[in-house]
Amino acid sequence: MNLLSIELFCLVFEHGSVSEAARRAHLTQPAVTRHIRSLEAYYGVPLFERTESGLIPNAYGKRLYPYLKAIIADHERAREALKTLLSDGETMPILLGATRTIGEYALPHVIANALAYEARFVFDVYIDNTRSIVDRLKEHRLDVALLEGQVPPEEEADVEAIGFAEDELILVAHPAHPLVRAAAGGALPPAALADAVLIVREIGSGTRELVEQALMERLGGPRPKMIAFNATQAVKTAVEAGLGVAFLSEMSVATDIRAGRLVHLPVEGLVLTRPLYLAMARKRYRPPHVEAFVAWLMSRGAGAFLPRDITVRYGA
């Protein structure tokens, strides 16, 4: 459960509509529905009656609403209180690290959202693989980092990693790929991938290991033919060039899907998710401005990755 789930519950409660809550939060309706179901799973009870005219809060939802609304109000008060921890003069930069997919595709949105929350934040960003990021945390050359993979077990004594969001790996293809026609707007059977060319990351990549394990479990036979690249952008470009299909982080292809350069192909019974981690050195002092950023990030969870409306930022 995170603050975004609570905010979406209150929006649905107040407007009686997932579509209206999605519109106001700039999310898709399925995303809102997932947050509501996550909240219901957390409390162990349904919170709404689902009717043809919309969602009606049940007794559990009505009892819960004032408490969750109070959490949002407390968060706003906490936000104002945290501002006082930041100096009125020049603020020291937050030394922020990220692994490659997060750094290249999501981190700019994280920073934009963080600056909308607190304009006095200053960031100095470093992007590299997990090994390099962990080393820099241990050497106190980074304050905090966002990782796609876990901290190696041998480093856990020095670096802590806290799961704060999830990322989904989705199958994408060029709009003219035969599998797009085969899916016809629906989900592909896993067997349809047996004859496909799969564009993957290099051996040793956590993304590749997750995909190969899932395909082995679902296909049960020979794995598809594979072409490997050592960079996510190269994998995307290969798919756009029609070389094959690929499982890629949703955050790395969202813009391409909206622009029509790639098509998302759901696969029956196959959902690939991985946790995203907030990593910090265990024995390093974190100054107030770093603590403020960490508190904000943990409260937002996956909401920190959502693109902001640029017209709002520039007052258009």
197-201/225-229 β-pairing: parallel
Across the range 60-78, mean pLDDT stands at 88
CA–CA separation, 314 and 316 (whole Å)? 6
Confidence of residue 310 (pLDDT cuts 50, 70, 90): very low
CA neighbor of 257 nearest in space, from 175, 165, 201, 196: 175
Position 55 pLDDT exceeds 90: no
Residue 294: alpha-carbon gap to chain centroid: 16
Note the residue count of the chain.
316
Q: Is the pLDDT of residue 143 over 90?
A: yes
Of 160, 195, 162, 166, the C-alpha closest to 179 is: 195
Q: Is 24 helix (H, G, I), strand (E, B) or coil?
A: helix
Domains 3-83 and 94-166+275-313 share a fold: no
Long-range contacts of 268-272, Cβ-Cβ distance < 8 Å, separation of 24 or more: 268/187, 268/188, 268/189, 268/190, 269/190, 269/218, 270/190, 270/214, 270/218, 271/168, 272/168, 272/169, 272/170, 272/210, 272/211, 272/214, 272/247
How many whole angstroms separate alpha carbon 96 and alpha carbon 142?
6
Class of domain 94-166+275-313: alpha beta
The residue-averaged pLDDT of 226-243 equals: 92
Rg of the chain on CA atoms, in Å? 21
pLDDT bin (cut points 50, 70, 90) of residue 314 is: very low
Q: What is the pLDDT of residues 189-226, one digit of tens each?
A: 888 888 899 999 887 676 788 888 888 877 766 678 89
Q: What percentage of the chain carries pLDDT values higher than 90?
A: 47
Superfamily of domain 167-274: Periplasmic binding protein-like II (3.40.190.10)
Check: CB of residue 278 under 8 Å from CB of residue 299: no
Collapse the DSSP code of 57 into the 3-class scheme (helix H, G, I; strand E, B; otherwise coil) and give the result.
Answer: strand
How far apart are the C-alpha atoms of 78 and 287, rounded to whole Å? Answer: 17
3-27 mean pLDDT: 90
| Helix, strand, coil fractions of the chain, as percent rounded to 5 | 50, 20, 30
Average pLDDT for 14-40 = 90
Label residue 312 by pLDDT band (50, 70, 90): very low
Question: Bridge-partner residues for 145, per DSSP?
Answer: 97, 279
CA 177, chain centre distance (Å): 27
pLDDT band, residue 90 (cuts 50/70/90): low
Across 152-164, average pLDDT: 90
Task: Read off the pLDDT of residues 248-299 as tens digits, 9 standing for 90 and up.
Answer: 988 889 889 999 999 999 998 888 888 899 999 998 888 888 999 999 999 8
pLDDT band at 311 (very low <50, low <70, confident <90, very high): very low
**Two structure tokens written together for 182:** 């085969």
Share of the chain above pLDDT 70, in %: 91
Q: Which whole number is the average pLDDT over 120-149? A: 91
Query: Above 80 in pLDDT, residue 79?
Result: no
Mean pLDDT of 9-28: 90
CA distance 161 to 149: 10
- Checking if the pLDDT of 145 tops 70, the result is yes
Q: Delimit the domains of the chain by residue range.
A: 3-83, 94-166+275-313, 167-274
- Residue 84: per-residue pLDDT: 58
pLDDT band at 58 (very low <50, low <70, confident <90, very high): very high
112/119 Cα distance (integer angstroms): 9
Band (89; pLDDT cuts 50, 70, 90): very low
Q: Closest Cα to residue 206, out of 154, 134, 262, 131?
A: 131
Question: Looking at residues 57-73, what average pLDDT do you find?
Answer: 91
CB 163 within 8 A of CB 274: no
Digit-coded pLDDT (tens) for 92-107:
789 999 988 899 889 9
Helix (H, G, I), strand (E, B) or coil at 198: strand
Mean pLDDT of the chain: 86
Q: How far apart are CA 99 and CA 136, in angstroms?
A: 12
Q: Is the dihedral of CA 41, 247, 161, 95 positive or negative?
A: negative
Q: How far apart are CA 212 and CA 270, in angstroms?
A: 12
CATH class label, 3-83: mainly alpha
Q: Is 153 helix (H, G, I), strand (E, B) or coil?
A: helix
